Amino acid sequence: MRKIIATACCLFFIFADTIAQESLQEKKFLVQKKLILFPINSDGQKYNLDFCAGDFKTYFDLRLASHEDSTDYWVFMDVSKFHGQQVNISGKKNTGLSDGFKLIHQSDEIKTDVPIYSEKLRPQIHFSSKRGWINDPNGLVYYDGVYHLYYQHNPYDWAWGNMHWGHAVSKDLVHWEEMPIVLHPDEMGTMFSGSAVVDKNNTSGFKTGNEDVIVYAYSTNLDKVAQAQNLAYSNDGGKTLQKYENNPILPAIKRFGTNDERDPKVFWYEPNNNWVMVLHEGLGQSIYTSNDLKKWNFESHVKGFWECPELFELPIDGDEENKKWVLSGASGNYKLGSFDGKEFIPETDKLNYLKGKMYAAQTYNNNPDGRRIQIGWGTVDSPGMPFNKMMAFPTELSLKSTKQGPRLHLNPVKEIANLYKSSKSYNDLIFGDKDVNKEIDAVSTPLLHIKTSIEPVTNRKFTILINGYEFNYNLNDNLLNDVFVPLIDYTLDLEFIVDINAIEVFINGGQQVMVIPHDSNQQIPGITFSGKNETLIKHLEIHELNSIW
């Protein structure tokens, strides 16, 4: 009887396995080229696919086109590291999937009708990925002369999903080169946000060669019900990452009763000779400490913040003897206070510097010249394009004294000068009843960096037009468009970074920041001023910019 049962069970599993195999659509490649290309229909059905190459396994979904003439664009998977190996792509058998699988092929180049970086809405002075969606900047770290920008990335769709870690590098913070993806979804979930540190003393024990090991803390998201904290590390200067075999280092425990446990930001706290992690939990930011990056102790919690925590110290007005700590969240909200390595004590109510299309900013802990450099996610849509969203332009953060106390200020990094193609400056121009625009030279490109200081004389309203976009200021209610902007010493200081698809505005030395979507295509490039009576332009700089590509 046992033999009959055993035989029946064996036959059942063979039969079940056969059915499973027959229900799968598979495509196998012996990797001989750099990329595998997938045709995408933006309005098509989503298919869930598995990818396997030896011990490497991942999964993703995409809107696979079933015919060449229904293909809107092509996306790619970089398989160069699997050269000479067999890889397998599979999904649940379906007529549309079967047709789409016939179009999947290897190539050394991305298939495209329009050259990459020359598309109509492609940002020309902000980083964007070649294909797919990007969001939060992750793992910002400087190592051996290179700035690393990792980021949340869906390489297979225009919309959010399939979270991977994309990767780009730069030597000057303005010219970026996209690199292969470093973290793929696994059995613990998709790859959510995190940070990176250079573990110079090898406290983690991950170092295997001559390079300092870079350690990455990141969240995984499993079906939106479990978010855990994990480690990866790199022994080749950040080019490739290895996931820690004993992940997670912090399992999903729902300490504050929700599934929201994510976005670890880690840094070295010198006074206590240990690591600090700021982690979003519940409706606030939690602080943990560790000696080895693997075992973490909960220390404290600050309520009232959402996602993407940051915690760092800055001098006030450059005075190294007078510093404050900044605790922030994803929306440009922050508090100033003190920090003893375990607890942040707020000394201000919540403050804010941001209006418009930026979110989830992160900073570099270890810039070699000591600057605190920040990159935010520019949430500007790119309709009809094979890519979506961008990174905001890198800014230097500082604390400056105001009549209300010290406040955070953001200023474009000085490296923007590397993009200057031509520059003009003007002083003491009057506009209003007089047309001052004839005195301002025309520009040849919509890519601009503009600085100006304006003083109302007898005019309470004036307009600045940049590439067809109107900025209206009214002294009566102190509104710049819909943002409250008081004059400082009776002067309005404005700085603009103008791209094909967006305008960033830094107000009064960067105390306030606006990020505005604007299509500069088909617009007359340049800046003009208008208003009644008299307004004084104390100073005006116009720098034409080269593309970062």
Average pLDDT value for residue range 265-293: 97
pLDDT tens sequence across 175-219? 999 999 999 999 999 999 999 999 999 999 999 999 999 999 999
What residues act catalytically? Answer: 136
Q: 7: pLDDT confidence band, cut at 50, 70 and 90?
A: very low
Average pLDDT value for residue range 298-306: 97
Average pLDDT value for the chain: 94
| pLDDT > 70? residue 13 | no
DSSP category for residue 122: -
Q: Can you give the pLDDT at residue 21?
A: 55
Q: Can you give the pLDDT at residue 17?
A: 45
Residue 216, C-beta contacts closer than 8 angstroms, at least 6 positions apart: 139, 150, 183, 194, 195, 196, 231, 232, 233, 234, 241
Which residues in the chain are classed under CATH 2.60.120.560?
420-545
Average pLDDT value for residue range 339-362: 98
pLDDT tens sequence across 452-473? 999 999 989 999 999 999 999 9
pTM score of the predicted model: 0.94
Range 309-345 burial, b when 16+ CB lie within 10 A, else e: bbbbebbbeeeeeeebbbbbbbbbbbbbbebeebebe
| pLDDT > 50? residue 9 | no
Q: 22: pLDDT confidence band, cut at 50, 70 and 90?
A: low
Domain 420-545 has CATH 2.60.120.560: yes
| pLDDT > 70? residue 2 | no
Average pLDDT value for residue range 148-166: 97
What's the full length of the chain, in residues?
549
Give the Cα separation of 479 and 541 in Å (integer): 23
Determine the residue type at 415: E
CATH for 132-412, among 2.60.120.10, 3.40.50.2000, 2.115.10.20, 3.30.565.10? Answer: 2.115.10.20
Which residues in the chain are classed under CATH 2.115.10.20?
132-412
pLDDT tens sequence across 497-536? 999 999 999 999 999 999 999 999 989 999 999 998 899 9
pLDDT tens sequence across 395-439? 999 999 999 999 999 999 999 999 999 999 999 999 987 889 999
